[in-house]
Structure 1
């Protein structure tokens, strides 16, 4: 591992920021992560890692630890409670085609903890918690992060991975065009034995009234159920509305469940006007926001990391000109706008908007895919369109 004198500041200690820091530090680059929260955020958030994302986790050295804590998923299941229809598309179709022919369900806080443990082993990585970035200044040669405690941190490059409300993006004066949905997503973590009623480990419930995502999060029987409601409803009555929804959704006569956590949040489709300004690069939610249906946001963020680490490390090593960072910015913005966002919108429509004709058509399609190994393979390989071509393991 060659050492470099360059210093990269990473603003944001979520999965994207920590993975970026880990990738750069493993290249011998000095990295400092700055995170305003003192503890990892354990509220319910996106938790699905597609098979091709697992390849990035492998390259960064955290796959085995992630799989030891998460749940391996070998297929996608689609349910329609109003008709009793159910379709399961198996990932056996991509066995022998890709290195890791399965998905992984894992809470983001758990992945964050794993990344922190790996960063702690690297002498060139530092993590500062409890102090966020409040401003960014830069000139031709350096970039400076102004921190909430009044101190300043100087570096050669800065990665803004500080979430949808990114202070870094705002400090750069970048617009964040797009739209906000009129729905409120409600992510719940509950304990209930879904598998006893024919549910797989990753489920899309496409139904005129009961659309939601149902996914197993750990080996102790914790499940994520995410549904949508009108943004006009007061958050004060949310626990009662969660119970009303679950009483209608849960199969069987005994609808006893344990509500462990819940988190309401707004949904957006937005992308920063640029992903690079001088010595500052944006990645993950700081660069783009999407509704989480289908895990397109998290997936795109990890693929941001893959290209960012490759390009920035090459620039620092003198193997590429800074123009390579414009290439990163342009390609990842296009990947989001042309692939990730449209795909997430389509899945949101099918799961949460309850349009009967479209659900009918989707189930007909999934039945055909289920019966056709070639179609099943293409179904799972499609998500790799969010990834840059030079990293793809399958075509």
Structure 2
């Protein structure tokens, strides 16, 4: 590859990997740069909504996703206070279901590893693991970056464009000086991974569950896990007056899980983690020849499983536009400005608004307002029109279509 006919992608998580694959399928050479030696195995993002599944199919990844992942056509809302099911939403029961009427629970590290394996023998793709971005400069002809390997050696690479897919603490975004607008939630979130099969507790538990309770809500989702036997992920808020050590203490974790899903035996907890959660969107996703995608461009709370989806949507949208610039002579500035408009709309009007509303619904403090919200869930689940509209919002169907239509 020459220095002037390739795209440099920093970050080989699911977004960077999918972007690299989409670029290669369009015929664009790519260099994929990742600071880790290999993808980190962590049961974090694992939900692929219908618009994302359609993209995975287009890229030839759906068969692997179905083999490695878990099909979840329905999701449940529950009241932790009463322990009762409030509403069931079933994509297969929609009057006009999407082509893929389910959510695919496919962990992000599996997506990344699947793509990296496919790119490994592609002469148009160079994969540089264990390299960190040190800096970059851009000019009218391209971008020159400085990267450092784990042994400390620094080298330079040049490409026509640089895309930062390097996470919420994006080095690309920071060096570019792009503002990351938004806020940070005051409470921390605790994530618990357990092998316990929650669905064995009764039919009120599905593969995707939302438990409502003031200051004590929880999301519970199932993925296949490393061994394919199943791994459940629970996410809930940590008390503000407790330290990280107190929140993650084994007895506190056990009490938390028993409070939501009581069972005679203790839970088999594999890992716990506690972290801060942000709602932020970059002021722009394009700055000359430097572009942002995924968490580098936007982050949100995990209620609804939308973060990775938005990043994959960025990647496919951007790959299509770069192909038009590359091969059709399209106006680069106009097209990349449209990329920012479309993908910021998808975030601000879609992911950010919906994920905030999701959290507020589960966390409602006022008893009267909480009763109204839970009653709204019951009515939506029971009415076919409201049921389908609820799913289209929750599964990013409407917001994706609105963003794609933006000029």
Q: Same fold (TM over 0.5)?
A: yes
Deviation at 1:192, TM superposition (A): 1.3
Instruction: Give, in whole Å, the separation in 2 of the partners of 1:119 and 1:97.
Output: 33
Deviation at 1:20, TM superposition (A): 0.6
TM-score by length of 1: 0.93
CA contact (8 A) 2:44 2:108 kept: yes
User: What displacement does 1:351 show?
Assistant: 2.3
- Evaluate the alpha carbon distance shift between residue 97 and residue 246 of structure 1 in structure 2; reply closer, same or farther with a 3 A threshold: closer
What displacement does 1:318 show?
2.7
CA contact (8 A) 1:203 1:213 kept: yes
| Aligned-pair CA distance for 1:256 | 2.0
Query: What pairs up with 1:106-145 in 2 under 5 angstroms?
Result: 106-145=106-145
The equivalent of 2:39 in structure 1 is 40
Which is worse superposed, 83-92 or 356-365? 356-365
For the pair 1:54 / 2:67, whether they are aligned, the reply is no
Greater alpha carbon shift after TM alignment, 222-231 vs 9-18: 222-231
The Cα shift of 1:72 comes to 0.4
The alpha-carbon deviation at position 290 of structure 1 amounts to: 1.0
The structural deviation recorded for 1:310 is 1.1
Output the CA distance in 1 between the equivalents of 2:403 and 2:221. 31
How many angstroms apart in 1 are the aligned matches of 2:111 and 2:391?
23
Gaps of 5+ in 2: none
**Conserved? CA contact 1:296–1:343, under 8 Å:** no
Among candidates 305, 312, 328, match of residue 318 of structure 1: 328
Among residues 166, 170, 175, which one is paired with 1:166 in the alignment? 170
* Bigger Cα displacement from structure 2, 107-116 vs 20-29: 107-116
Match of 1:242 in 2: 253
Residue in 1 aligned with 2:310?
A: 300
Structure 1 residue 329: Cα displacement: 1.2
Which whole-Å CA distance do the structure 2 matches of 1:175 and 1:41 have between them? 28
Structure 1 position 90, deviation (Å): 1.3
* Greater alpha carbon shift after TM alignment, 158-167 vs 216-225: 216-225
Shift of 1:118: 1.9
Q: Which runs of 5+ in 1 are unaligned?
A: none
- Which one is further off, 231-240 or 282-291? 231-240
- Matches of 2:146 and 2:363 in 1, distance apart? 41
CA 1:95/1:129 → structure 2, altered by over 3 Å: closer, same or farther?
farther
Moved more, 14-23 or 144-153: 144-153
Q: TM-score, normalised by structure 2?
A: 0.90
* Residues 126-171 of structure 1 deviation map (CA, whole Å, 9 limit, x = unaligned): 2111111121211000101210231111100111110000000011
Hey, what's the Cα distance between the residues in 2 that align with 1:390 and 1:275? Answer: 14
> Could you tell me which of 206, 213, 216 is aligned with 1:207?
213
Question: Over aligned residue pairs, what C-alpha RMSD do you find?
Answer: 2.1
- 1:336 correspondence with 2:335: no
- Contact in 2 for aligned 1:5/1:29 (Cα 8 Å): no
User: Between Structure 1 and Structure 2, how many residues are aligned?
Assistant: 389
Offset at 1:89? 1.4
Partner of 2:380: 369
2:195 pairs with 1:195: no
- 1:227 is the counterpart of 2:236: yes
Q: Deviations over 1:282-316 (max 9, x none)?
A: 01110111111112222211211121111111111
Tell me how far apart the structure 2 counterparts of residues 95 and 117 of structure 1 sit (CA, whole Å): 39
Task: State the partner residue of 2:88.
Answer: 88
Name the CA distance, whole Å, in 2 between partners of 1:106 and 1:255.
28
Per the TM alignment, residue 390 of structure 1 is displaced from its structure 2 partner at its CA by 8.3
Shift of 1:272: 1.4
SS state of the match for residue 83, structure 1?
coil
User: SS at 1:104's partner residue?
Assistant: strand
Secondary structure in structure 1 of the residue aligned to 2:340: helix
Secondary structure of the residue aligned to 1:132 is: strand
The match for 2:398 among 385, 389, 394 is 385
Report the Cα distance in structure 2 between the residues aligned to 1:239 and 1:11, rounded to whole angstroms.
Answer: 36
Checking the alignment, whether the CA contact within 8 Å between 2:216 and 2:237 is kept in structure 1 is: no
User: Paired residue for 2:361, among 350, 358, 372?
Assistant: 350
